[in-house]
Amino acid sequence: MRAVYRTLPGRLHKHAEPVVSAPTYDLGKLHGGLRLQAHKQMSTAEPIRQVPVPEQLFLPLTQHAGDPAQPVVGIGEHVLKGQLIAECEGTLCAPIHASSSGTIVAIEPWPVSARHGENAPCIVIECDGKDTAIGTDENSPSYDKLVPEDLLGQILLGGITGLGGAVFPTAQKLMQATTCDVEYLILNGVECEPYISCDDALMREYGREVIGGAQILMHALDVDVCYIAVESDKPIAIQHLGEALAEIDDERIVIKMVPTIYPSGGEDQLVQLVTNREVPSGGLPSDVGCLVQNVGTAAAIHNWMIKREPLISRVTTITGDGVATPMNVEARLGTTIADIVRFAGGYTESAEQLIIGGPMTGKSVTSDRVPLVKATNCILVLSQTPSVSPEMPCIRCGDCAAVCPVQLLPQQLFWYTCADDESKMRSHGLIDCIECGCCDLVCPSHIPLTANFRTAKARILEQADEKARAERARHRFEARNDRLERDQLQREEELARQKQAARQAAPDAIAEILKRKQAAADED
């Protein structure tokens, strides 16, 4: 494991002593956080299994943060695996490719697991079972021959988004970062939420792809240091990555082991841990010279740039005490959760809750007809949680503040959200809340703080949005009034000018007319 070095925050590994088997540990400081029971072993016992192509695939047009993609295929059309079926529209978007070959049978609303709303437009493919791939352009140049701009353009075409959960289109994220002075590429293999183990499994089996992706990203961003951050409870993944790294022998890439504390895998928290730099409020990691990408995203970039496979499948964890055989699977995007659960042996009798994502930040859905999308890193089926005693008044114990990774005072914030005091909510950092859920777990009064903050945040952001819209409308209105006034003035000036000219011209004209009349009279 020569790839692993002990470094000081912000120092390059080249200047530090290599350590053979003790990876770097705890560099920056993370406030608060929780040590949670991991529940990861149950899904990591077996290697990643491939879910067979289902009969029907449901591909939502919005699988990423931003605007929906626009379909470029019609109903009845036959498509091949990897064929573009919806293209980018707008500035923040990612294209969508057919996950398998078949016929487009519908483009219609279907239940999805997105945060807002229940149904969203999906392209439905009736698979033909042949899984025929579309031919690839064999002559496409190798990535290191491309200038960064062209490379980013290529990444955009692959439909790649962040696979950690926020699904920000990768090309746009990279494009934004190239406008800043980025020093470090950080690959996020932390996966701090309990139950989820898809990144762990991916690093164990696709370590070479992850590192390949890191090299492509480093080329695109023109950075010289890449940290792959992995939590200390994933020794096998660290070992496999280390072996892959030794094979590839790229000394710009360093594996960093970070402590197993939730939420160390949050983007800003990871930057703080790895580089000891604080991402400013409302800012991005690129403001402090970092770019964070999920390890799965790196592997997807590698698969697209090297093997020309667009993002049509992903590794996901299917786990929880409500599933017969918890495991990690690789499934085609668009496969319904029901199909994946069937592959994992079906539900157990105690299955009560279906959660897309982890147990701290995931979204619970009522139906398993929702499809696997680019964001789905975990399918968690839980038996009903033991009944907890009802919500009580806050006793100001302060445990919520002690665990808050952003150092908020949730107990104070709670008062202000109850009172709907927007200026206080803002000054106490409601917008900075990362909704990690730590405060809920330590609250002895069982107050649903995170849910409270989430609603309050949505409300004040909406209000701010409305205000901005109203402001824009006011500006437009005023601009229109100004323009009308200006036009009016111009018209009046013009009129006055014409009148003036007419008045000046008038005597001549009259004289002319008189002259003409005179002439006519003379002729007579």
Footprint of another protein on residues 254-273 (CB under 8 A)?
268, 272
Which of the residues 421 through 460 are near another protein (CB under 8 A)?
427-429, 432, 435, 437, 440-446, 448, 450-451, 454
Q: Is there binding between residue 405 and another protein (CB under 8 A)? A: yes
Q: For residues 270 and 134, is the Cβ–Cβ distance under 8 A?
A: no
Q: Is there binding between residue 395 and another protein (CB under 8 A)? A: yes
Residue in the block written with tokens 């002895």:
444
Among residues 62, 100, 161, 411, the one that binds another protein under rule CB under 8 A: 411
Q: How far apart are CA 332 and CA 312, in angstroms?
A: 6
Six token digits for residue 415: 């008062």
Q: Where are the beta strands (DSSP E) in 117-270?
A: 119-127, 184-189, 225-231, 253-258
Least Å distance, CB 379 to another protein, is 12
Question: Residue 291: left (phi > 0), alpha (psi -120 to 50), or beta?
Answer: beta
Mark the segment that binds another protein (CB under 8 A) among 19-27, 63-71, 325-333, 383-391: 383-391
Least Å distance, CB 230 to another protein, is 23
Beta bridge partners of 290: 184
> Of 325 and 445, which has the nearer Cβ to another protein?
445
Which of the residues 5 through 34 are near another protein (CB under 8 A)?
31
Q: How far apart are CA 29 and CA 234, in angstroms?
A: 20
Whose CA is closest to 27, among 312, 232, 258, 252?
258
- Name residue 331's amino acid: A
Count Cα neighbours of 102 within 13 Å in the Cβ-side half-sphere: 22
Least Å distance, CB 316 to another protein, is 18
Q: Is there binding between residue 494 and another protein (CB under 8 A)? A: no
Which of the residues 270 through 299 are near another protein (CB under 8 A)?
272, 278-283
Binding mask 181-200 for another protein (x = CB under 8 A): -------------x------
Least Å distance, CB 221 to another protein, is 23
Distances (CA, A) of 366 to 147, 381, 428: 47, 11, 34
Q: How many residues does this entry show for the chain?
A: 524
> Of 94 and 318, which has the nearer Cβ to another protein?
318
First to last CA, the chain: 120
> Of 139 and 389, which has the nearer Cβ to another protein?
389
Least Å distance, CB 402 to another protein, is 7
Whose CA is closest to 293, among 259, 270, 317?
270
User: What does the DSSP assignment read for 310-339?
Assistant: -S-EEEEEEESTTBSS-EEEEEETT-BHHH
Which of the residues 360 through 379 are near another protein (CB under 8 A)?
360-368
Among residues 142, 249, 389, 524, the one that binds another protein under rule CB under 8 A: 389
Q: Is there binding between residue 166 and another protein (CB under 8 A)? A: no
> Of 169 and 405, which has the nearer Cβ to another protein?
405
Least Å distance, CB 366 to another protein, is 5
Q: How far apart are CA 426 and CA 214, in angstroms?
A: 38
SS3 call for 39: coil
> Of 156 and 375, which has the nearer Cβ to another protein?
375
> Of 3 and 271, which has the nearer Cβ to another protein?
271
Which of the residues 37 through 96 are near another protein (CB under 8 A)?
none
Least Å distance, CB 470 to another protein, is 25
> Of 143 and 414, which has the nearer Cβ to another protein?
414
User: What does the DSSP assignment read for 269-298?
Assistant: HHHHHHH--PPPTT--GGGGTEEEEEHHHH
Q: How far apart are CA 80 and CA 71, in angstroms?
A: 15
> Of 155 and 413, which has the nearer Cβ to another protein?
413
Q: Is there binding between residue 144 and another protein (CB under 8 A)? A: no
Binding mask 344-363 for another protein (x = CB under 8 A): ---x---xxxxx-x-xxxxx
Q: For residues 379 and 340, is the Cβ–Cβ distance under 8 A?
A: yes
Least Å distance, CB 210 to another protein, is 28
Q: How far apart are CA 107 and CA 50, in angstroms?
A: 27
Six token digits for residue 400: 């919520």
Least Å distance, CB 415 to another protein, is 11
SS3 call for 418: helix
> Of 427 and 498, which has the nearer Cβ to another protein?
427
Least Å distance, CB 429 to another protein, is 4
Strands 49-50 and 56-60 come out as unpaired
